[in-house]
Amino acid sequence: MSDTILALLGFATVITVIVLLLRNVTVPALAFVSVSTITAAILVATGAFTLDEMAGFIKEGVKGVHGTAILFIFSVLFFGVMTDAGMFDKIIGALMKKVGNNVVGVALMTCLIAIIGHLDGGGASTFLITIPAMLPVYKRLHMRRETLLLICVTSMGVMNLLPWGGPTMRAASVLGVESNDLWSQILPMQIVGLVLAVGTAIFWGLQEKKRIAKLGDAAVEDVGKYDDSDSEEKNNELARPKNFIFNVILTLAVIIVLVMDIFPSYYVFMVGCALGILVNYRGKKLQNSIIKSHAASGLTMASTILCAGVFLGVLSKSGIMEKMAIMMANVIPASLGRFLPVIIGVLSVPLALLFDTDSYFYGLLPVLISVGNQFGVNPAHIAIAMVVCRNCATFISPVAPATYLGIGLGIETPSLGLILSKVRGFFLDYPYLLVFPASIVSIISISFYIMGNAFSDAADPRNHV
């Protein structure tokens, strides 16, 4: 096969996977492995590669992502155990008691609870922790629910940069590096983002305070003691309030060791899971039950990552991705090549509104990295631009399932059919309404990237290219 034919076959493979994912024809894992297998069969049948060579490509591809898959399994299990044991519930309960009727304090507390709740890297779980806890308070103080969601998704977008978060892990698996290694370069940007998230919460808290003051008598608060059944302590047989101190110390220890980067990330979570389960839950039967209760979410993502490894092996290890990049690079002016991370950063938010996470990282990122290689751009910089800037729109994207969960939790009578018919239809029927906010968010995203990258270069000049 000629280089042009190989490049076109690569583009056809990527486009097919993206179409299958966007149209919900099948789950990501099956899309990656089935399309990759068909492509591999074509390459072997046409004599482009031998069967042994293709088997080697697939083996190398899976080898490059297996650490990330293991990390996801045990990080989900660890934070699931901490949630079952009631650690997060107790922390949130203590924080809420200190807020009272302070509008700005409630906004700030929303930010902190979302940050704490998103330690597990899961958007759905964060919404389920934050919104049910805060929505009754917002109603009582006559604060807008839109403000609750705005503060929540801003904090979640920043916390989604953690090494066990989906975007960072996917990008690391494409780069073939440990998630911690990529996160060490993202960390300065995440710190800036946390400051901005807290500042956003305070700003909107002040705006809500002014708005409520203008309402006057229309916003009279209940003078009686607030009583809500959801705020009462849950009768959870898995909760272990007596082990609260141990669980907090264990969680902090896991995070500190991860930051110190002494051991592989997945090993740290393995040890954390073992200690957490052994101390909180005694007996083989109960321990098996705990592990099985979190197996579905962990294995679903792990299988996706491993099957994406097959996809990357077939396209990247075989050199097809490089030929695709050469074809794309030929249409990009050389003067713009060095600004590729900036261009990608600007486009990340609009792309996030169109592509789901798997197709975005496993479909687009490998191709863009190969294009960047043609201009001498550090692959990590392209990955960081895509990870950081995309997270600004992760939880407002119409292709992110957690978006609809968050919106549904803010409706009086949540109904999946109602959410999908009204909200998704609004996004898709009037896409032009997204142009202006998407442009603004893109500008903010790229500013965020440039600022954070400057901090990263200052902290470690070796990362600068």
**pLDDT tens, position by position, 120-177:** 666 666 776 677 667 777 877 888 888 888 888 888 888 888 887 778 888 888 888 8
- In one-letter notation, the amino acid at residue 118 is H
Task: Provide, rounded to the nearest whole percent, the portion of the chain with pLDDT above 90.
Answer: 9
| pTM beyond 0.75, yes or no | no
Per-residue pLDDT, averaged over 43-48, amounts to 89
pLDDT of residue 213: 84
Angle at 48 between CA 47 and CA 53, to 5 degrees: 95
408: pLDDT strictly greater than 70:
no
Nearest to 341 by CA among 303, 374, 307, 369: 369
Q: Which residue has the higher pLDDT, 216 or 406?
A: 216
pLDDT of residue 424: 47
Nearest to 72 by CA among 137, 39, 120: 120
Neighbours of 71 (CB within 10 A): 27
423: pLDDT strictly greater than 80:
no
pLDDT of residue 252: 87
247: pLDDT strictly greater than 80:
yes
407: pLDDT strictly greater than 50:
yes
47: pLDDT strictly greater than 50:
yes
The segment with the largest mean pLDDT, out of 125-134, 271-280, 310-319, 331-340, is 271-280
CB 177 within 8 A of CB 147: no
Residue 213 Rama label (left phi>0; alpha psi -120 to 50; beta)? alpha
Per-residue pLDDT, averaged over 459-465, amounts to 55
The pLDDT-based confidence of 221 (bands split at 50, 70, 90) is very low
Average pLDDT, the chain: 76
pLDDT tens-digit readout, 331-384: 667 677 777 788 877 777 777 665 667 667 877 788 788 878 878 888 888 888
The segment with the largest mean pLDDT, out of 332-346, 408-422, 429-443, is 332-346
CB 177 within 8 A of CB 186: no
CB 358 within 8 A of CB 311: no
Nearest to 306 by CA among 451, 130, 169: 169
Lowest mean pLDDT among 97-101, 196-200, 410-414: 410-414
pLDDT of residue 124: 62
Q: Which residues contact 60 (CB under 8 A, 6 or more apart)?
A: 313, 317
Q: Which residue has the higher pLDDT, 338 or 400?
A: 338
Distance CA 346, CA 243 (A): 46
pLDDT of residue 169: 82
pLDDT of residue 272: 92
CA dihedral 172, 342, 6, 354 (to 10 degrees): 80
What does the DSSP 8-state code read for residue 243? G
275: pLDDT strictly greater than 90:
yes
Lowest mean pLDDT among 15-29, 94-108, 405-419, 441-455: 405-419
Distance CA 332, CA 298 (A): 40
pLDDT of residue 300: 80
